[in-house]
Structure 1
């Protein structure tokens, strides 16, 4: 048997394992009982892996590997999204650097440039996913602009168009002046900003009760150029006398009416609200109700259009300053207040969005909402954690028609054709340049493309043969689960459910697993601009893929957000360290070294069945059986954090720290005792590696190669059989668990006392145990083992045994363990030392508490400084509690 290397070389081993898995073709779907098909949420084709991707992909791969080992027909479908706005923006920048623009080269050449960009950079993120060890089916990648996928997108549009679910209309949309395209409501990001509330005087056409003007309050004075009305609340009876009157709109000399509408909040500003129907969705609604003219004052780049005198050609910001200056110059600026409010920004370029009246394509969602809602309320689709169910249902209840057109060139072009000769219009599955109605040749296609989310809503079924080869879907749709972030429950999850229930009359997946958002160490969002983002590839290079994956799994809880423990160099933005990932690497090393010990003690080994020869054997077999049940149920219920903690506790604490120690004496023996110990160690290690494999595939596969195998065993761990709870259930032995658990508890208590007081492991101690009555006999039977393992000179156990003088107490399950320290510790000196340390720590704690309760400090200090001080205070308080406990123990 080839000896395992002394040191685990992550880079070399991981590459070799990747090659082995790919060459073995293990990532493809294989035959099995039951189906586990999962579609990877398609990352942007030109993107790079970030920590959100790393978390998502780690969870998915753990789930997929687990199901593959259980014998499911498993396939993880790979794909990328064409990312309309993001890709077009990058190609625009590339062309600009070359001194040209897309307008110069035209649509066709620009699309060619986008394909060139995609072909050059499109595989980058896929290679990174591969490097993580994700067992995706790389042999059959999908792209939302592929020909077969595009056909599915076109069918959805045409069918909905002909079913009257898609229409074109002039509505207010969220417009990005930088990207020059509409943005969906759900894609707008709200940011809190400090602004102003300007109070402007609008002269009344005819005075009312001696009043010559009214005062309107607005956060956007520049849009007053497009005002066509002023509204008041019908509940504000002081303003009843103004309803029906008119004001003369300053600058424009336009007479506009005053009317009442229940939308108006009488308590906001002056109670008079300027109404600009073309630049605010609520104003648009009021304009519809009251028949107001809709005047669009901005062009697609948010500059004032022709016809506005000195303001023409100004940007929004320039126009705001000029309008306020005009009002002040003419004595019509009443006053200005500071005002904190939310402003919508583009999720791609961060520009402030402009509510803008334009003609767009929409999906009428009323007919789609019902089935998509019922799919969740019926329990056919379950959200994990369950609290996201209500978020989905609330969003669905308030869902408005979906704007699906984008003013881009890169993407799925809207398949609607128009005849300029006779006015014919239709959505077609095939392009045409001849009008089927009049035979004319002046036929043009709509210029806009579809929203990226429109195409990605088909993901679970268009990647599996729909619409041409729907037989491929049989048995593999609905898919098992969708793993995704909460940010796109509305953008993507809901729309996938609507599309699937409409076109397939079935749900797209059974479970929706929402993982926590990964924040930077200081609690803020990771971002390139802040320089606080962590590159998963840096973590893999420094610590190995298994360590990164395992650390990420420990972060999977029911929390909404988690902080990633990593320190980033502020200047270079490079990773300095990640203590939690370092701990995970230590676990990888522990697995490797423990396995080397077992495999290095197999001289003379011959295969055979495990036998519980000792109580320790019965205990570890029982713990292994329980672990199998916990891990199997945990992964099935998407409780990955709990699974990771249970795996760590079993392998590090129970197997390495205790069972291997129990086994050492038997390994030094000869004959049947040694052989059976070898067999038991191999049995436990083999099953532990199988249970660890989905989370930590590389190190477990590398070790498993060295393990003795039964005849007919699979060629790779990733396709080996899972340790099913039912097959191990007969090993469960509560009495053995109780007995060995007591032994470990007592020995651990004595060892911790030695460490706490700096007593040499060679120094024997007298130990008294105050045990619960039912545990006395058990501990008496274990006394010889306890004495050897804990180096105890005298051992006594009794129910109600008193605490000896000058002894340290440790509480364990079912007993209190007293280690006598007489002659081992200078109690007076130790009390003096601890009292001095207590005083210092109490002073430090008071200092940090005072600092952190100071509002001035909290307002001015950087968030990372505040967070650092809070962490320091928690550390000091923990140290203080331990010192005070020791003082109490010493009397």
Structure 2
């Protein structure tokens, strides 16, 4: 048997220090160009493609624990496919984050008492670009610390020239196809950001409010007065009421339909209308209708042709009501209006506390206002239908499949998408207006109209440009080699929480852009073949992480403390498809211990001359222990490969953990210490087995813990890099039938001997004379070595013994405990334990003898007490016998 030359032990330090190797290794990988993708290898048929586009983080962002999970799983797939011989493109980039970035720069200007209006649009946008170049994109450097193996040469930004051309192209195409239109609608409006925002930018929380019942007075035709009572939490919007609605079948109000009541303060007469939207069982069965400030009221207003009166400015102050409330902030107005209503006798009953869901802007935390405004929309019906069909026909697979229902519930009931934002930073809407009302949409290769035309001031929703990400980053609308080689992308890895908002929108635009029509035109146009959804990272108790709760975890802090590998491995072990994962700081420390265990085992192997054999290991040369660890290795290789193909990250990581720690480090390495002392021939084979297992194990673990495995594998093999090493395959060697039985017997025998030693009070590290009979020599010799039983001397006296029944037969262990037990200490320990068992016997017998207790206690409780009593009696007998067997006090 020949072996490759292993590195000298001096190449590895005594302890693994992540900080000493991670940055250095990552720089070496980048300089070597290992992460670069070459589309020509795909187009020539040399390699199969595997492609992922990184969900673009915000240019303002920092790496948070959700990013760390997302990136870890993508990197596992990228490294695995690269090692498996595929041509891997993992394309990175950033999102311009319209609202967040503009707000950040405006906050910096506000320090000097300035606003963006002091600079004008062009100069302000340049200031944002300056900030981006100087301070933006810190997350990209943080990705390198995590170990992301992305192709940095292809880094993109949503405002790049090429991506901007793609945005303008698809806007023009959608506009010309009648799938983009402008209309007045109710949208989510942020008074702090002064723009419409998307659903995903609204965080809902249960806020305490006050339900106020207001009486609207009317006058009957015969001169008799009447009134209608409505309830609301947003009292200030009453100033914009244009109707009161009741259900058409509500007999209480049947006679009032068509009559009018007067809105207090504004002295506006409004009709009482019948609409089936009203729930007659809620409150009084009558609701106020404010079409310009509520989405449901807006629909009622359209059905009944009601006026739509706006009473709030963009920054949420009362306006144009000709009342004393004009100019007040909405919350100030709410309090004052309630007071004035009460003084005028229009508040009925007591104001009631009311807990209700309130939307907050995820950027500014301002309470979102439903507000009527003129916006641009995408007509989603044909696009969403194509996105649903892509999954139904199997063109796209959602993993895990049980999340398909949530996807269909969204795309099958999608509302038209508000895509305009009242910002300056972003892709400006490519529409111009003439002075006489003509509208013209301009494509990327067209000249905008000249004098007398004005461009729309709004920009596009950031989600609009990011919906193009899978193909705009590859050069679309040009038919580039990158597109030909890597589109559709292989998989999208993302959290289930943006399944609706981003995944569905990429599906709609990918099918439309690449298929040439709203239907998407079949398989091959989808933006990705598989959507692999993971859950959210929560704390160890399953609660959502947040700074306010103090349970958030900074991944960069974890990397500083424990290393990137430890953080990655902790996240991967919890990443079951579609399920949330719990996470605690201490668990990262446990993963660091795993990396150290792997390091120490490899260092031991190198010190003892382990090397990777150049020729296959032959079965006759192998002990049962050798055969067992190699058989298990073949199983682990096959299982890990299958699990990664099925996106079962947690199962793959967990299986590798237990094989590496429990089987290889705790068992085989310990057996190897015994085998290398038996003979030179046995030592040579053992070293080859150590090298074989470590070579494959480090390859298997590399996608999860790339830094420590790279450091160890290059020292072991002298190879170039694990990044470009081959993924292991199971050997052709047939499993040895008796190897698993051998290890099972050895495990049981060693466990029983160690328990026996503890019962006898024998120090774990002290060699004890013993004679083992029965079983097989191949079994008992390593068992004796592992449990520190030494050959007896001529005056051997068996003072204690046990028998262990194994598949290999009955094994008897006789031990000479003379001189190995501190009799006084052992006697004291046994007396203490004996007293504890006596107390347990007394306590349990007292309960079992209490007729009143026994008559009332559940059967399960009684059974548990009986079991405790039986255990205590058995323990008392064992301790008494052990105590009696001890030599005298002066022995």
- Interval containing the TM-score (normalised by the shorter chain): 0.7 to 0.9
Q: Return the TM-score normalized by structure 2.
A: 0.85
Gaps of 5+ in 1: 436-440, 566-577, 770-776, 795-805, 842-879
State which of 584, 590, 608 in structure 1 corresponds to 2:591: 584
What TM-score results when the alignment is normalised by the length of structure 1?
Answer: 0.85
- Shift of residue 497 of structure 1? 0.5
Q: What is the deviation of 1:87?
A: 0.2
| Corresponding residue number in structure 1 for 2:500 | 490
Looking at structure 2, the residues matched to 314 and 421 of structure 1 have their Cα atoms a distance apart, in angstroms, of 37
- Aligned partner (choices 94, 101, 113) of residue 127 of structure 2: 113
Note closer, same or farther for the CA distance 1:600–1:281 as it changes in structure 2 (3 Å cut). same
Q: Partner of 2:154: helix, strand, or coil? A: strand
1:753 positional shift = 6.2
Corresponding position of 2:353 = 338
Is 1:16–2:21 an aligned residue pair?
Answer: no
The whole-number CA distance in structure 1 between the counterparts of 2:433 and 2:152 is 41
Is this contact kept in 1: 2:265–2:323, CA < 8 A?
no
C-alpha distance in 2 between matches for 1:662 and 1:158: 71
- Cα offset for 1:580? 0.9
Deviation at 1:218, TM superposition (A): 1.0
**Does structure 1 conserve the Cα–Cα contact (< 8 Å) formed by 2:206 and 2:355?**
yes
Report if aligned partners of 1:382, 1:510 keep a CA contact under 8 Å in 2.
Answer: yes
SS in 1 for 2:252: helix
Distance 1:265 1:134 in 2: 54
Are the equivalent residues in 1 in contact too, given 2:840–2:872 (CA < 8 A)? no
Question: Which residue pairs with 2:674 in the alignment?
Answer: 665
Per the alignment, do residues 602 and 470 of structure 1 end up closer, same or farther by CA in structure 2, a change over 3 Å counting?
same
Which residue of 194, 218, 223 corresponds with 1:204?
Answer: 218
Q: Measure how far apart 1:890 and its partner are.
A: 2.0
* Pair 1:503 & 2:513 matched: yes
> In the TM superposition, what whole-angstrom CA distance separates every residue of 1:427-486 from its partner, at most 9, and x where no partner exists?
433574535xxxxx1111100000000000011111111112433211311111111112
Aligned to 1:69: 83
Cα–Cα, structure 1 residues 621 and 413, in superposed 2: closer, same or farther, change >3 Å?
A: same
Output aligned runs, 1:189-200, within 5 Å: 189-200=203-214
Deviation larger for 23-32 or 755-764? 755-764
Q: Does 1:450 align with 2:465?
A: no
Distance in structure 2 (CA, Å) of the matches to 1:552 and 1:813: 40
Match in the other structure for 2:263: 249
Do the aligned partners of 1:628 and 1:723 also contact (CA within 8 Å) in 2? yes
Whole-Å separation in 2 of the counterparts to 1:741 and 1:687: 24
Contact 1:306/1:313 (8 A) holds in 2 = no
Deviations 1:88-117, CA, capped at 9 Å, x for gaps: 010000111122110110000110011011
Closer, same or farther: CA 273–817 of 1 in aligned 2, 3 Å: farther
What's the offset of the Cα at 1:44? 0.5
In structure 2, the CA distance between the partners of 1:652 and 1:213, relative to structure 1 (3 Å rule), is same
Larger radius of gyration: 2
Match for residue 741 of structure 2? 738
- The alignment status of 1:540 with 2:559, answered yes or no, reads yes
2:407 pairs with 1:392: yes
Partner of residue 463 from structure 1, selected from 452, 456, 473: 473
- Decide whether the 8 Å contact of 2:217 with 2:225 is kept in 1: no
CA distance in 2, matches of 1:692, 1:382: 27
For residues 563 and 837 of structure 1, the distance between their equivalents in structure 2, rounded to whole angstroms, comes to 38
Match of 2:47 in 1: 33
- Bigger Cα displacement from structure 2, 207-216 vs 485-494: 207-216
SS at match of 1:204: strand
Q: Is the 8 A contact 1:13 1:698 kept in 2?
A: yes
CA distance in 2, matches of 1:883, 1:757: 24
Task: Give the Cα separation in 1 of the matches to 2:306 and 2:841.
Answer: 75
1:885 & 1:92 partners in 2: Cα distance?
75
Conservation of the 8 A alpha-carbon contact between 1:205 and 1:255: no
Q: Specify the alignment match of 1:847 in structure 2.
A: none
* 1:317 and 2:331 are equivalent in the alignment: yes
Report whether the alignment pairs 1:707 with 2:716.
yes
How has the CA–CA distance of structure 1 residues 255 and 881 changed in structure 2, closer, same or farther, with 3 Å as cutoff? farther
Per the alignment, do residues 600 and 780 of structure 1 end up closer, same or farther by CA in structure 2, a change over 3 Å counting? closer
3-state SS of paired residue (1:311): coil
Q: For the residues of structure 2 that align with 1:382 and 1:840, how far apart are their CA atoms?
A: 61
Q: CA deviation at 1:314?
A: 0.9
Structure 2 partner of 1:859:
none
Which of 766, 779, 783 is residue 782 of structure 1 equivalent to? 779
Contact 1:605 1:675 in 2 (8 A): no
CA distance in 2 between counterparts of 1:603 and 1:793 reads 27
Structure 2 CA distance for partners of 1:483 and 1:272, relative to 1, 3 Å: same
Structure 2 counterparts to residues 416-815 of structure 1, below 5 A: 416-421=431-436, 423-430=438-445, 432=447, 434=449, 441-505=451-515, 506-521=525-540, 523-558=542-577, 560-565=579-584, 578-602=585-609, 607-612=614-619, 613-709=622-718, 715-725=720-730, 728=731, 730-751=733-754, 759-761=762-764, 762=766, 782-790=779-787
Preserved contact between residue 808 and residue 890 of structure 1 (Cα < 8 Å): no
Post-superposition shift, 1:648?
Answer: 1.1
Cα gap change, 1:638/1:160 in structure 2, threshold over 3 Å: closer, same or farther?
A: same
Rounded to whole Å, the distance in 2 between the matches of 1:418 and 1:268 is 46
For the residue of structure 2 that corresponds to 1:333, the secondary structure is coil
Distance of 2:841 and 2:66 partners within structure 1 = 43
Residues 277, 540 of structure 1: CA spacing in aligned structure 2 closer, same or farther, 3 A cutoff?
A: same
Change (3 A) 1:834 1:488: farther
Q: CA deviation at 1:234?
A: 2.5
Q: Secondary structure at the match of 1:192?
A: strand
CA distance, structure 2, for counterparts of residue 370 and residue 720 of structure 1: 44
Are positions 1:214 and 2:228 aligned together?
Answer: yes
- Alpha-carbon contact 2:230-2:286 (below 8 Å) kept: yes
Corresponding residue of 1:359 = 374
Q: Please identify, of 661-670 and 292-301, the stretch whose mean Cα deviation from structure 2 is larger.
A: 661-670
3-state SS in 2 of match to 1:387: helix
- CA deviation vs aligned residue, 1:822-869 (integer Å, no higher than 9, x gap): 99887664243367699999xxxxxxxxxxxxxxxxxxxxxxxxxxxx
Alpha-carbon distance in structure 2 between the residues aligned to 1:885 and 1:813 = 30
How far 1:717 moved relative to its partner?
A: 1.2
> Cα offset for 1:608?
4.1
CA RMSD of aligned residues (A): 3.3
Deviation of the 1:209 alpha carbon: 11
SS in 2 for 1:298: coil
Work out the CA distance in 1 between the residues paired with 2:866 and 2:121: 70
Q: Is the 8 A contact 1:42 1:81 kept in 2?
A: yes
- For the residue of structure 1 that corresponds to 2:152, the secondary structure is strand
**1:603 CA drift (Å):** 8.2
Post-superposition shift, 1:311? 0.9
Match of 2:862 in 1: none
Please name the residue that 1:890 is paired with: 875
- For residues 471 and 839 of structure 2, the distance between their equivalents in structure 1, rounded to whole angstroms, comes to 69
CA–CA distance in structure 2, aligned partners of residues 811 and 420 of structure 1: 98
| Structure 2 gap ranges (5+) | 1-6, 516-524, 792-799, 818-822, 845-864, 877-891
